[in-house]
Structure 1
Amino acid sequence: DKWKNHKDRFTLISDMYKKLNDLPGIDFNFSQPIADNVEEAVTGVKGELAVKVFGKDLNILEEKAQEISNIIQTVSGITDVGIFREIGQPTVEITVDRTKAAKYGINVSDVQELIQSSIGGTVATQLYEGEEHFDVVVRLEKAYRNSIEKIGSMLVTTPSGARIPLSEITDISYKPGAAFIYREKNSRFIAVKFSVRGRDLGGAVREAQSKVEKSVQLPEGYYTVWGGEFENEQRALSRLAIVIPLSLLIIGLLLYSTFDSWGYALIILSSMPFVIIGGVFGLLIWHLHFSVAAGIGFVALFGVSVQDGVVLLSYVKAHRTDYPDKIELIKAAASRRLRPIVMVALLAILGLTPAALSTGIGSETQKPLAVVIVSGLFVAVGLNLIVRPVLFKLFTPKE
């Protein structure tokens, strides 16, 4: 009941963080079950973003992961930092001293068989109960294998028939072993997960990458991969870097084929910088960061802006002979095309305003797109009715 009055997920997380942060010695994270499943499918671990350190030695991986964790926690906007630790499982390590074993004529395989049968157990027979059958495993009683001393006192038979304690030819010790080993493309890795809040994703990750590159020295054969939403965003932005110029080129060619004039085409395309300014101001007012959704919104905004320009200039081209004075022609075009231009803008603005004002689950994806289009269209309407007529007056020849 205490956590109901929050307008969105981020304010709820902020308030919960303030309450929980006072508890010493507790690591906590904020997530949702479905989001966890999606993030695990993307990054390979349960985390929105992750740095994966690849290498062979688990101890070195753990050490470097801790260094990276300490560094990225100093980056503004990065929260929920945690390491998916792999070492910590208590294990008994038995290492055969091959030189000592060779003196007694004992093979390593003989030692392995003893350990397997005494501690792990060996299948002696099978027990049948009706149609079911079960393996019967025989091994030493717990009292004879529950400590290093007891394991070391196990007797190994030499080829001569003598029996010596296992500790005579092995080193037995407790060591922290691997509780779980993450692998990707046949390589071991350890992951450092984190989230970004209150800052643009790309800027935060790039700053973290720069600090890690300067401060963390990785041994030969070890490397890092920054995955998760950042990796997906970079792939999408690289595609947009190709799609947006290509879209503008195709739009320019279509405008030229429509009006048979590069002058008309350039007048229509000249609206792009102003429309971009409108979209950027919208993101600033709503305190949103540029994202893939916002980039797609700009592409859609270009199309609507060009459509409005075509509506206006098509009237100009069709009625040039009806008005001897260019200014009168421009006034007539602006007044006659006012209604369709405004209606197109209002249709998109009214349709996307709920998405621009939304704060529910999933709004972080649709909101930037809607905000860019709504704010950009406010600029586009004035642009079509004020700026384009002026450009037409200045940059088209008299007839």
Structure 2
Amino acid sequence: LLAAPALAFLLLKPRRRACGQEPVLIRRLKTVYLPFFAACRKRRKIVFLATAIVLVAGLAVLPFLGREYIPYLEEGTIHLRVTHDPNIALDEVLRRTTEIEKAIRGVPEVTGVLSRIGRGEVGSHAHFINDAEILIRLKPAGEWTSKDKDGLIEAIEQRLEGFPGINVAVTQPIAHNLDELLTGVKSELAVKVYGEDFDVLKKLAGEVMDVVGEVRGAADVQVEQFTGQNHLRIELDRRAISRYGIDIGDIQDTIEAAVGGITLGQIYEEQRRFDIFLRYRPESRSGLDDLRNLYIPLPAGGQVPLAQLAAIDEVVGPRAINREGNKRYITVQANVRGRDIGSFVAEARQALEQRVATPPGYFVKWSGRFELQQQATRRLLLITPITMALVALLLFTIFRSSREVFIILINIPLALTGGILALKLSGLYLSVPAAIGFIAIFGIALEDGLVLMSAFKRHTDEGRGLAAAVELGVTEKLRPVLMTTFTTVFGILPLLLARGPGAELQRPLAAVVVGGLLTSTLVTLVVLPLVYETLKRRA
């Protein structure tokens, strides 16, 4: 509003043209467009019918359009997560991970392997030492012997089939970190089974895993490792303790000091401090017999073995208990390959409803990227009607006519229809980048309709007839409408044709914008003037 007019006044100078006042390209476009528009005015019923068919086709395609949160981003590397038995020793994890690295290096496409065992609590989620994360570097895609990424992943998984007792999940480094940070799960999808009884949850999780694994596109389906950890269970005999007159807290403090250790104080050496840590020697606390022979002091003097005061045994139990909303849950994880997440979840959800019966108080919730996609959809469904209402109110304050506001708003659904058809024809899915493209189309279609309607209104206010006002309006505004379309399409084409890293995120946005602009421009230059002329004549 301020800089552009001032710069135009200073920099732009009038020029005389040898042939008219318009560029050659615009004159040639008008020689094609004006006769075409005149023919459409004579056959407006056919034009309206064709427009309605395009709109219905777009609406019919929408339910069959795949849905996902963000497109699959080709990172050029593979992130392999290998989970061993919870009781495995660190030395054994190192040995087996080294063997897995050797097997992976045998794949022709692999150039390097880097492993990490366990993960501390600083900076991210903690992992146990039985979790190994392996980063696999790959050759450029043009040098692969496998036909695609899925074939390469299949070749890697085949080489790992000879390692018993491991769970394998294949993803990519950035995708893995996003999944874990945004949703707290280590895969694209997670089915959380909620309830109270641990055994019932375990049984339901197994049934869910079997059903989800049969759905087309399911990969790396597994129950999150929550059990299999050996524990020492000490059950105190309260009657025996009361006969000896011992306080239960004293027994627990003694066990804590012997097995876990306690801090008695600190030693200072200049600026450094060191804890004084008291604990039994490893050979005195390594087995069940050592704990049974742990002596507990009596109040009146003397000692009694812990075996006479408690039952001590080794059991297998959960190594972690997950709770959410005050409900215990177990997670079934899965990745999706070869199809969109939306249709996969719809098919899997239907199969679970038919084949898995959940007892009262138990329920299933889908999480991961599907949950994020659902949240984004709900926000758009809330914001879009509010935005449309505000835009309609703003247009009404400009034109003071609900009929003219309606004519401008006609352009929006038809422009969005072009974006939907472009996604379907290009094989892309409806995602967050595609939604951003629809928002851009929304603004461009609204602007073009507003420019054209303003021209019609100006000419009618000047006293010209309806037919003359429409013809002058489309003749004048052909150039700005086409300039908006051409500059936007040329600016967005590099995103549509790009093939480098990150191109997968840009392509849905570009496809929606290009497809939407094609239908929006046709509607603006052909359908919108005909609708305006028809409604004005009836008024």
TM superposition score category, shorter chain reference: 0.7 to 0.9
Corresponding residue for residue 231 of structure 2: 91
Change (3 A) 1:350 1:28: farther
C-alpha RMSD of the superposition: 3.4
* Alpha-carbon displacement from aligned partner over 1:230-280 (angstroms, at most 9, x marks no partner): 223222212211222222233333333333333322222223342232111
* Alpha-carbon displacement from aligned partner over 1:287-319 (angstroms, at most 9, x marks no partner): 112223323322321221222222223222322
Question: Is 1:256 equivalent to 2:396 in the alignment?
Answer: yes
Amino acid at match of 1:40: E
Pick from 115, 122, 141: which aligns with 1:5?
A: 141
Task: Give the share of equivalent positions with the same residue, in percent.
Answer: 34
Q: For residues 265 and 466 of structure 2, what CA distance do their matches in structure 1 show?
A: 107
Pick from 294, 298, 302: which aligns with 2:434?
A: 294
Amino acid at match of 2:170: F
Query: Is the 1:283–1:372 Cα contact (8 Å) retained in structure 2?
Result: yes
Q: For residues 201 and 423 of structure 2, what CA distance do their matches in structure 1 show?
A: 40
Question: Is 1:246 equivalent to 2:246 in the alignment?
Answer: no
Paired residues for 1:1-399 under 5 Å: 2=109, 3-5=139-141, 13-22=149-158, 23-24=160-161, 25=164, 27-55=167-195, 60-121=200-261, 129=269, 132=272, 134-156=274-296, 164-184=304-324, 188-218=328-358, 222-320=362-460, 324=465, 326=467, 328-397=468-537
Instruction: Point out where structure 1 has 5 or more consecutive residues left out of the alignment.
Output: none
> TM-score under structure 1 normalisation?
0.83
Q: For residues 135 and 121 of structure 1, what CA distance do their matches in structure 2 show?
A: 12
* Alpha-carbon displacement from aligned partner over 1:194-238 (angstroms, at most 9, x marks no partner): 333433333333443444455445566555443333223222212
Query: Is the 1:55–1:189 Cα contact (8 Å) retained in structure 2?
Result: yes
Query: Is the 1:119–1:140 Cα contact (8 Å) retained in structure 2?
Result: yes
Amino acid at match of 1:85: Q
SS in 1 for 2:428: coil
Q: For residues 98 and 214 of structure 1, what CA distance do their matches in structure 2 show?
A: 49
Query: Is the 1:117–1:138 Cα contact (8 Å) retained in structure 2?
Result: yes
Q: For residues 379 and 456 of structure 2, what CA distance do their matches in structure 1 show?
A: 37
Deviation at 1:350, TM superposition (A): 1.2
Q: For residues 397 and 519 of structure 2, what CA distance do their matches in structure 1 show?
A: 27
Q: For residues 119 and 220 of structure 1, what CA distance do their matches in structure 2 show?
A: 41
Amino acid at match of 1:18: E
Q: For residues 264 and 464 of structure 2, what CA distance do their matches in structure 1 show?
A: 106
Deviation at 1:347, TM superposition (A): 1.4
* Alpha-carbon displacement from aligned partner over 1:315-335 (angstroms, at most 9, x marks no partner): 223224665472x54444333
Change (3 A) 1:364 1:55: farther
Q: For residues 263 and 484 of structure 2, what CA distance do their matches in structure 1 show?
A: 79
Query: Is the 1:244–1:299 Cα contact (8 Å) retained in structure 2?
Result: no
Change (3 A) 1:153 1:390: same
Q: For residues 333 and 60 of structure 1, what CA distance do their matches in structure 2 show?
A: 72
Query: Is the 1:6–1:12 Cα contact (8 Å) retained in structure 2?
Result: no
Query: Is the 1:85–1:190 Cα contact (8 Å) retained in structure 2?
Result: no
Q: For residues 408 and 312 of structure 2, what CA distance do their matches in structure 1 show?
A: 80
Query: Is the 1:52–1:225 Cα contact (8 Å) retained in structure 2?
Result: yes
Query: Is the 2:185–2:368 Cα contact (8 Å) retained in structure 1?
Result: no
Deviation at 1:375, TM superposition (A): 0.5
Deviation at 1:132, TM superposition (A): 4.3
Amino acid at match of 1:259: F
Deviation at 1:343, TM superposition (A): 0.8
Amino acid at match of 1:286: S
SS in 2 for 1:21: helix
SS in 1 for 2:220: strand
Change (3 A) 1:324 1:216: closer
Amino acid at match of 1:20: I
* Alpha-carbon displacement from aligned partner over 1:65-86 (angstroms, at most 9, x marks no partner): 3333333223333433343323
Amino acid at match of 2:522: G
Q: Mean Cα displacement is larger for which, 59-68 or 122-131?
A: 122-131
Q: For residues 378 and 271 of structure 1, what CA distance do their matches in structure 2 show?
A: 12
Deviation at 1:282, TM superposition (A): 0.3
Deviation at 1:17, TM superposition (A): 1.9
Amino acid at match of 1:234: Q
Change (3 A) 1:113 1:381: closer
Deviation at 1:371, TM superposition (A): 1.3
Deviation at 1:345, TM superposition (A): 0.8
Change (3 A) 1:220 1:93: farther
Deviation at 1:281, TM superposition (A): 1.0
Query: Is the 1:43–1:50 Cα contact (8 Å) retained in structure 2?
Result: no
Query: Is the 2:194–2:329 Cα contact (8 Å) retained in structure 1?
Result: yes
Q: For residues 296 and 195 of structure 1, what CA distance do their matches in structure 2 show?
A: 25
Change (3 A) 1:340 1:118: closer
Amino acid at match of 2:397: S
Change (3 A) 1:37 1:17: closer
Query: Is the 2:264–2:278 Cα contact (8 Å) retained in structure 1?
Result: yes
Q: For residues 48 and 67 of structure 1, what CA distance do their matches in structure 2 show?
A: 20
Q: For residues 124 and 32 of structure 1, what CA distance do their matches in structure 2 show?
A: 47
Change (3 A) 1:219 1:95: farther
> TM-score under structure 2 normalisation?
0.63
Q: For residues 262 and 412 of structure 2, what CA distance do their matches in structure 1 show?
A: 76
Change (3 A) 1:61 1:266: same
Amino acid at match of 1:238: R
Change (3 A) 1:337 1:173: same
Deviation at 1:377, TM superposition (A): 0.6
Change (3 A) 1:144 1:303: closer
